[in-house]
Structure 1
Amino acid sequence: MSRFNDYHERRNSSSIKWDNMSEIYNIPDTSSILPMWIADMDFPAPPVLADAINERLKHPVFGYTFPNDEVKKALTNWYETRHQWTIDPSTILFQQGVVPAIATIIETFTEVGDKIGMSTPAYPPFFNVPIAQQREIVTADLTEKDGAYAFDFGVLEELFQSGIKLYILCNPHNPAGIVWSREDLEKLVQLCIQYDVYLLSDEIHADILISKNYTPALSVKGADQAKILACIAPTKTFNIAGIHAAMIVAPNKDLYTALDLNAQAHGVLSLNIFACTAVKAVYTEGAQWLDELLSYIKENMQYVSDELNAIDGISVVIPEATYLMWIDYRGTGLSEQDIMQRLLTKGRLALDPGTKYGEAGRGFLRINVACPFETLKDGIARFKHALL
C-alpha cells in the first residue's frame, strides 16, 4: 500500500488550506467543506526530514545559523542530478520563500510606476506583489485551445514594446501546468535582451514533473547575456511550505550584489536553523520519496481526467507539471459566480475560481489533486453532485 494513501487530519492545525476557508470564501461555517484549492499537499513530508530535525533537536543550543557548504552542496547536487543544471554555489541568495523573493527582486530592480509584464492566466502574487509596491501591471494572454496554452510571441513582443521593466515567468506554469520548451525560453530570453528587460523566473514547480522534463531559464542559449533571476525552492516539492526556505539564483554579479545590498538594507538574515536542516535533508535523501509521489499524482490525475471528461460541458487535460489541474467548465454555460456557489453550498467543495489568475482564467477552475486517493474520490463526487 502506498504511503500516500494514509489520511492525516489537518483541521485545527492552523492550516491555511483547512482552517482559513471562512476568510477566503466568505462563508461562516466551513466545517463540512473539502478544501482542494491552495497548492499545499495533504501528504506528510519525507521521513528523512523529520529524522533530520529530530536529530538536530538533540543539540540544546539554537543560536544564529547559516546555510553552510553542505546545505549548498545538497542543493546544487540535486539540480545537477535531477535537471542537469549546474548552479554555482556563489550565485545563490537564500530567502524565506519564493513570494518574498519575488517581492525583493521587484523592489530591487524596479521603481514606483514602472511596468511589470506577465502572461496570463498567472499566479495571483504576480499581480498582488507589484501592485502593493505601486508598480503597473501589463499583461499578454497566452493562447489557449482545448486546454493547451502557448505563447503568442507577436503579442508578447508588443508587451515588451510597451516599456516593461521586468517580466515575470512561471516555469513550469501555474495554473495550467505547462513545461515551457527550450525553444520558447530562448525566444523569451532574446526578447529580454533586445528590450533590456529583467526576467524573473519562478521555478518553484520544477520538480513536480508529470510528462515532460523542465528546462531552467538560466540554462538556455543567451541566458549569460540577459538579466535573469531564477527563484527555486524545495517547499512545493516536499510539502514543507511551513518551513520557509527558498533561493534566488543570480549568476550576474551586478544583480547578485544589488540583491545582497537590498537584504542588508532590510536586515534580512538567511535561513533559520530548521530550514537549513530541512533543505539539506530533502535534497540529499528525498529523491525516492519524490519519485513515489509523482507516480501517485499521475494516477490521481488520470482518475480526475477520466471522471470529469465524462461530464457534459466539462473538459480537463492532464498537465505536464505541478499537482494542479485546470478545469474548463465553459461548456456548461455557467458563470463563475454560479459554479462557485454550487460547489461551495451544494457540493461543499472549495476550488480556486479562474479569475483569481486574471481575466484570462474566466471559465476555468483550479483543483489540487495532491491528496490521498479516497479524499480525491470524495472531492470528485462532490464536484459531480454540485452540477446535478
Structure 2
Amino acid sequence: MKHDFDTVIDRMKTSSVKWDGAEALFGAKDLLPLWVADMDFKVPEAVSKAVEAKAAHGIFGYTTRDDGYYNSIISWMKTRHNWTVEREWICHSPGVVTALSLAVQAFTEPGDKVIVQPPVYYPFMSTTENNGREVVFNPLKEQDGRYSMDFDDLRAKIDGSVKLLMLCNPHNPGGTVWTKEDLQTLGEICLEHGILVISDEIHSDLVFEQGSHVPFASISDEFADSSITCTAPSKTFNLAGLQTSNIIIPNAGLRAAFEKETARNSIGMPNSFGPVATEAAYTEGGDWLADVLDYVKGNVEFITGYFKEHVPALKVLPLEATYLAWIDCRELGMSPEELESFFLTEAHVALNQGKAFGPGGEGFVRMNLACSRSVVEKAARQIEEAVAGLDQ
C-alpha cells in the first residue's frame, strides 16, 4: 500500500463537524466520533497540490467550470462505471442533499408523495417533509444480512399522488449494491406509473468489487430519460467541505427544470476550490482510492471478527459498499433510546443511531470505518467493555 492511513491525524480545533461538533450534538464528553460520513484520511496528494496552486494564485473571484473539470467527470464515469455521460447533462449542486431538496421543489407540489426505501439515509425523509411533501415508506426486506426491495409493497403503495422515488444506489445504510435485475424491476414499475427516480449514487465509487455498481440511468434510454443521478467526489475523496456535486440529468426538460430551481435558490455557482479539487481527484486519485478501499475492507474484517469473538451480541452486516458498518444490536434487548444512551454514556462512542434511518433501523447503529485501524480497535475495546458491564 502506497499511502499511510495508520497515522492518526488530529482533527480537533479544525472546525470539524465530526470531531469538534460531537459534544454539542450528542451532549456527552470524551466521545470517540465514528458517526457522520467523512474520512479521517488526508485527500490524495494531487488534490492538495491543486488546491494549494489555486490558493497561491491569490484571487478567489466568481468561478466557472472548465473543460478539464467536465472531461474528468466524463472519463471517470466511463472508466469506473461503463456509463457514457454527455457534458451538457452535468449540473452543479453544492451537495447531493441540496440536489434532493431541489428535485423535490422542481418536480412535486405541496402534498405530493415521495417514496423512500427505509432504513435509508435520513435526509431522504427530511428534504421531503421540509418541503411540505408526504413521505411514503417502501421498507426493504433483510435476509441473511442483505437487503432486498419489496416490489409487491411498492406496487401497493403507488397512487396518483406519488411523483418521485428516491433511490439509494448503493444503499446507505447496509452497503447493499443493487443488481441490474433489482434496478430493472424498480425502473419498470416507476416507468409504468410515471414516477421520476432520483438516484443518489454518492457511494458508487466505494464498492469493494470494482465494476459491481450499476448506474440506474445506464440501464436504458428510458431509465435515463426519467431519472436524475446524484454524484459527487465528496464521499469518494473526502471533499465534502468543498461543496461540489455533479448532478447528471440526460433529459433536457428535467435538466431545465432542475437548473431553474438552482437559479431560483441562487446556488448555481461553485466555489473557487471545488472544481480544481474534483478534476485532480478524478484524474489522479485512482490509486489512492484503491488503497482506501483495501484499508477500509481491512477495518470491516477487523470489526466483524472482533465482535464475533468478543461481543457476539453485536453483528456486522456484510458490507458490499461504503465505509459505514451497519451493526445489528437487537440482541441487547434495548429500546432505541436506551441503545443511544448506552453507546454514549457507557461505551463513549458516537455512532449514528438506526432509528434515524426510518422503519427497520431500530436496534441498529452505523459506524464510520474510514479511520485509522487503531481508532477502530479502540472503539471495539470500549464497546466490548461496555457490553460486558451489562452483566455485572
Q: CA, structure 1 residues 263+342, in 2 after alignment: closer, same or farther (shift >3 Å)?
A: closer
Q: Does 1:319 align with 2:319?
A: yes
Q: For the residues of structure 2 that align with 1:64 and 1:252, how far apart are their CA atoms?
A: 28
| Runs of 5+ consecutive residues of structure 2 not aligned to the other structure | none
The question of whether the paired residues in 2 share the 8 Å contact of 1:97 and 1:244 is answered with yes
Q: Does 1:229 align with 2:228?
A: yes
Tell me the SS of whatever aligns to 2:57.
coil
Name 2:9's counterpart in structure 1: 8
| Runs of 5+ consecutive residues of structure 1 not aligned to the other structure | none
Q: For the residues of structure 2 that align with 1:69 and 1:164, how far apart are their CA atoms?
A: 38
Q: For the residues of structure 2 that align with 1:67 and 1:191, how far apart are their CA atoms?
A: 36
Name 1:220's counterpart in structure 2: 219
Name 1:115's counterpart in structure 2: 113
Q: CA, structure 1 residues 315+225, in 2 after alignment: closer, same or farther (shift >3 Å)?
A: closer
Q: Which amino acid aligns with 1:237?
A: T
TM, length-normalised to structure 2? 0.95
Tell me the SS of whatever aligns to 1:45.
coil
Q: CA, structure 1 residues 267+341, in 2 after alignment: closer, same or farther (shift >3 Å)?
A: closer
Name 1:148's counterpart in structure 2: 146
Query: What do the CA deviations read for 1:271-325 (whole angstroms, capped 9, x no partner)?
Result: 1221111111101100000001000011110001101123232211231000011
Aligned pairs for 1:366-385 (under 5 A) are 366-385=366-385
Which deviates more from structure 2 when the two are superposed, residues 310-319 or residues 356-365? 310-319
Shift of 1:225: 6.7
Shift of 1:76: 0.7
Query: What do the CA deviations read for 1:77-110 (whole angstroms, capped 9, x no partner)?
Result: 0111111111101111011010111111110001
Aligned pairs for 1:278-297 (under 5 A) are 278-297=277-296
Q: Does 1:101 align with 2:102?
A: no
Shift of 1:215: 0.2
Name 1:328's counterpart in structure 2: 328
Shift of 1:224: 4.4
Tell me the SS of whatever aligns to 1:141.
coil
1:126 to 124, 135, 141: 124
Shift of 1:255: 0.3
Shift of 1:158: 1.4
Name 1:202's counterpart in structure 2: 200
Q: For the residues of structure 1 that align with 2:49 and 2:222, how far apart are their CA atoms?
A: 39
Q: For the residues of structure 2 that align with 1:7 and 1:225, how far apart are their CA atoms?
A: 42
1:34 to 32, 42, 57: 32
Q: For the residues of structure 1 that align with 2:62 and 2:75, how far apart are their CA atoms?
A: 25
Name 1:262's counterpart in structure 2: 261
Q: CA, structure 1 residues 129+384, in 2 after alignment: closer, same or farther (shift >3 Å)?
A: same
Q: For the residues of structure 1 that align with 2:97 and 2:361, how far apart are their CA atoms?
A: 21
The question of whether the paired residues in 2 share the 8 Å contact of 1:160 and 1:191 is answered with no
The question of whether the paired residues in 2 share the 8 Å contact of 1:172 and 1:180 is answered with yes
Shift of 1:162: 6.5
Q: For the residues of structure 1 that align with 2:365 and 2:224, how far apart are their CA atoms?
A: 38
Shift of 1:222: 5.4
Q: For the residues of structure 2 that align with 1:215 and 1:75, how far apart are their CA atoms?
A: 16
Which deviates more from structure 2 when the two are superposed, residues 280-289 or residues 258-267? 258-267
The question of whether the paired residues in 2 share the 8 Å contact of 1:315 and 1:328 is answered with yes
1:169 to 160, 167, 170: 167
The question of whether the paired residues in 2 share the 8 Å contact of 1:35 and 1:351 is answered with yes
Q: CA, structure 1 residues 70+225, in 2 after alignment: closer, same or farther (shift >3 Å)?
A: closer
Tell me the SS of whatever aligns to 1:166.
strand
Q: Does 1:85 align with 2:77?
A: no
Query: What do the CA deviations read for 1:115-148 (whole angstroms, capped 9, x no partner)?
Result: 1111110111001111111111110110112321
The question of whether the paired residues in 1 share the 8 Å contact of 2:94 and 2:267 is answered with no
Query: What do the CA deviations read for 1:143-177 (whole angstroms, capped 9, x no partner)?
Result: 11232110111111112246311000000000110
Name 1:272's counterpart in structure 2: 271
Shift of 1:257: 1.0
Q: Does 1:358 align with 2:371?
A: no
Aligned pairs for 1:37-52 (under 5 A) are 37-52=35-50
Q: For the residues of structure 2 that align with 1:137 and 1:130, how far apart are their CA atoms?
A: 7
Q: CA, structure 1 residues 200+225, in 2 after alignment: closer, same or farther (shift >3 Å)?
A: closer
Tell me the SS of whatever aligns to 1:116.
strand
Q: For the residues of structure 1 that align with 2:21 and 2:287, how far apart are their CA atoms?
A: 32
Q: For the residues of structure 1 that align with 2:301 and 2:167, how far apart are their CA atoms?
A: 28
Q: For the residues of structure 1 that align with 2:254 and 2:261, how far apart are their CA atoms?
A: 11
Q: For the residues of structure 1 that align with 2:143 and 2:235, how far apart are their CA atoms?
A: 28
Name 2:73's counterpart in structure 1: 75
Q: Over aligned residue pairs, what C-alpha RMSD do you find?
A: 1.4
Q: Which amino acid aligns with 1:12?
A: K
Name 1:243's counterpart in structure 2: 242
Q: For the residues of structure 1 that align with 2:135 and 2:128, how far apart are their CA atoms?
A: 7
TM, length-normalised to structure 1? 0.96
Query: What do the CA deviations read for 1:330-360 (whole angstroms, capped 9, x no partner)?
Result: 1222222223222211211111111010131
The question of whether the paired residues in 1 share the 8 Å contact of 2:224 and 2:250 is answered with no
